[in-house]
Amino acid sequence: MSEETAEAEQRTSSDADGPDPRRWRILGVSLLVGFMALLDVSIVNVAVPSMQEGLHTSAGTVQWVVSGYALTFGLTLVAGGRLGDAYGRRRLMLVGLVGFTCSSAFVGLAPSAGVVVAARLLQGATAGLLTPQNSGLIQQLFRGPERGRAFGLFGFTVSVSSAVGPVLGGLILSIAGPENGWRYLFLINLPLGLVALVLVARLVPGRAAAAGDARIDVVGAALLGATVITVLFPVVSVEGERYWPLALLVLAPVCGWGFVRWERRAVARGRPPLLDVSLLRRVRGYAGGLAIGGLYFTGFTGTLLVTSYYLQDALGFGPLHAGLLLSPFAVGAALSAPAAGRVVNDVGRLITVIALTVVALGVAVTALALPLLSPGHLWWVSVPALLVAGLGGGAVVSPNMVLSLDQVPPRMGGAAGGALQTGQRIGSSVGAALMMTVYTFAGLHVAESQALRIALLSAVLLLLAALVMAVRDWRS
């Protein structure tokens, strides 16, 4: 009997007897891996000046250390989820962890800026293999109210990893020094990655029974990759003062249309699609969840980035001080995400409506009050306003994942979850570029404090757009 057959029979037996007794430990390992991958999105934001000085390179080149990771991360998410559906979560997590850990070492030890950028591109691609396995495992191992609690912990991981990154990055830089301290932001992944490899190999189940056709839709992956590139590449490149990549945006609808047509054709011919696009029509809440998640991350990511930049560039705060001022958002998200996951099955989409209202309120208060205060009095506004925003933010991510994936078949859980997270990564990249562009352009005409207000109010408009989508989904 082959290993795959034995694992399939074991999984079938486990499903028949009841849920896997190790499911919460497996989830813990999965969330550790997801935390590593998502933390590397935000932890380097406070290290851009340090990297520019240590590598003796331009700001545009260093920006690719931030943006290149987001680009390749978003590029491989859906394909990584589909590969996990076909070949098993454990196999993909092990492959992704080896690649992520090695590429982290390459970044930390790189002798030049070119090697750093290349290694970050590889690191982002391997992170895209890892992250969709989280939602796939939750779909596979949990049912009913337990699934809501599991997604609540996943939402906690997403929110906290995004918000705690600047704090942790600032702390490491303050300890290790500005010139080479940025290297430790990546080298810290080595011991974490080795521990995670052992835990994944021991705990995470292999390929599930009835995993379906293991063939991979290569053409569909190429078309989706082209769609993501034509959206993300112009966004991450414009920050380097090169505007010609914006022309690629006109190709995004063409590539997206080609992807949808090809996937429908694959389903009609009985071939396994990369992502069954009929999920957008026949699975209640999935299309709305994609839009809500993308719009929320566009506003949320831009808010934290532009505020951090204002605190350091305009007010002269150090990376750690700026990160601490933003930490109430992480505290609020940590409190609300698990609680939201526990009640989402009872409350439904209404919880997303309430949460987005709270987020928009917190960011609006920050936008109106923060520019009026002197540096010594910022705590009086940043703590309560960002805490309120964090309480709302933590209650957006996990309920949205639960409600969007609730009716998705487990055999498509990885690809469907990967598509949701691709929307989040696109939103994060677009939001970061958009808010910084608004802040920079407004700063040419008004004071920096007023430019911050304009940028944050732009983020509020995006959050209100997500709220409109949530209300529409709730009423329908």
Virtual torsion, Cα 46, 50, 52, 54, nearest 10 deg: -150
Paired tokens of 280: 């957008």
Confidence of residue 6 (pLDDT cuts 50, 70, 90): very low
Whether 357 maps to a domain, the answer reads: yes
Question: Sign of the C-alpha dihedral, residues 27, 93, 167, 397?
Answer: negative
Whether 234 maps to a domain, the answer reads: yes
Residue 243: per-residue pLDDT: 66
Q: What is the pLDDT of residues 349-366, one digit of tens each?
A: 899 999 999 999 999 999
Q: Whole domain around residue 85: which residue ranges? A: 20-475
Question: Sign of the C-alpha dihedral, residues 11, 17, 18, 23?
Answer: negative
The CATH number covering residue 436 comes to 1.20.1250.20
CB < 8 Å & 24+ apart, contacts of 146-151: 146/19, 147/402, 147/406, 148/341, 148/342, 148/343, 148/344, 148/345, 148/398, 148/399, 148/402, 149/338, 149/341, 149/342, 150/27, 150/341, 151/341, 151/344, 151/398, 151/399, 151/401, 151/402, 151/405
Whether 401 maps to a domain, the answer reads: yes
Whether 153 maps to a domain, the answer reads: yes
Residue 78: per-residue pLDDT: 83
Residue 208: per-residue pLDDT: 55
Greater pLDDT, 61 or 143: 143
Whether 301 maps to a domain, the answer reads: yes
Residue 160: per-residue pLDDT: 74
Q: What is the pLDDT of residues 223-281, one digit of tens each?
A: 888 888 888 777 666 654 556 777 888 898 999 899 889 988 888 888 878 777 877 77
Confidence of residue 16 (pLDDT cuts 50, 70, 90): very low
Round to whole Å and give the CA distance between 220 and 82. Answer: 11
pLDDT at 311 over 80: yes
Q: What's the number of domains the chain is made of?
A: 1
Degrees to nearest 5, angle at CA 279 with 278 and 284: 125
Residue 218: per-residue pLDDT: 82
Whether 7 maps to a domain, the answer reads: no
Confidence of residue 123 (pLDDT cuts 50, 70, 90): very high
C-alpha distances in Å from residue 396, one per residue of 83, 220, 294, 348, 416: 27, 30, 12, 12, 18
Whether 12 maps to a domain, the answer reads: no
pLDDT, average across residues 182-197: 91
Whether 13 maps to a domain, the answer reads: no
The answer, as to whether pTM is greater than 0.85, is: no
